[in-house]
Structure 1
């Protein structure tokens, strides 16, 4: 696509770092979308003052209209703080995607390269998967098992 035709190594490393971050967010989003479909919702109240239980919140895009605006505000503020204080400067100081989490990386350079490549590939797959899940949910209204298991 020509993103790297200018030969700017710093810009390339920043794009790669952002790709890792977006891939990891997409992996969490995909699991967050599927988990309630598989194991159910958390017990208890999402908003005790409104009498809203976690079980009352539908999965998928329908949740946008059910979760109170203060809840969405808390989510946006939390992720804004993570983004601001996360220290995602790996593209300036080291290998993009290497945040020194030993579960994801390694001290062995070859193993580290392999693990980061696996992480990158899984992140790319998750970015496609979450977009497909959201599209399917918007069109069909569900992504749950009822789409594949016929009603008896």
Structure 2
């Protein structure tokens, strides 16, 4: 006769508690943030994955007024960087402005290299000074930031047909896209 396998012993079920004790969680230390009214940088526009709230220099500790100024600067520089990126792309594609970059140096726009580093070194110092002065004039006179408007909203009194989004989710998405594209540029 063949040997018969024995059944494995069945483990007894552990007694189940009738009522579970309430779970107590340890207090979690939160990052200190200056809080004045609605100042909540953790949920602000631009705080998106993968970095989330990225503040390696601890600039948030300077308070809401400084934080707002940093937002305004970031948005303006991001917009300028996006425009400059488009300028490099169009120049590299062979699209050039008519005329001269410098009449005194007989330097037509068509002679400018398409690459960023080539254009940087080929542009005379006087050209860079004109660019900086033009941007400063735009910043100080035309695109002045109204402290009563959200950071980056600078065209209230200008004859520009600016798109306004009524849906808060769409508006938040578009503002996050703008902020992240400016950072990438």
TM-score by length of 1: 0.65
The alpha-carbon deviation at position 24 of structure 1 amounts to: 0.7
Q: In structure 2, what is the equivalent of residue 11 of structure 1? A: 66
Structure 1 segments unaligned to the other structure (5+ residues): 127-152
Distance 2:118 2:68 in 1: 37
Preserved CA contact (<8 Å) 2:79 2:182 = yes
Q: CA deviation at 1:86?
A: 3.3
Which residues of structure 2 form unaligned runs of 5+?
Answer: 1-55
Greater RCO (Cα-Cα under 8 Å, separation 6 or more): 1
Distance, in Å, in 2 between the alignment partners of 1:121 and 1:31 is 16
Higher helix fraction (1 or 2): 1
- Residue among 122, 142, 145 paired with 1:66: 122
Task: Name the count of aligned residue pairs.
Answer: 124
The alpha-carbon deviation at position 65 of structure 1 amounts to: 4.2
CA positional deviation for 1:109: 3.7
Deviation of 1:28 (Å) = 0.8
Instruction: Please say which of residues 38-47 and 10-19 is displaced more in the overlay.
Output: 38-47
Deviation at 1:124, TM superposition (A): 1.4
> 2:170 matched to which residue of 1?
111
Higher alpha-carbon Rg: 2
The Cα RMSD (Å) is 2.5
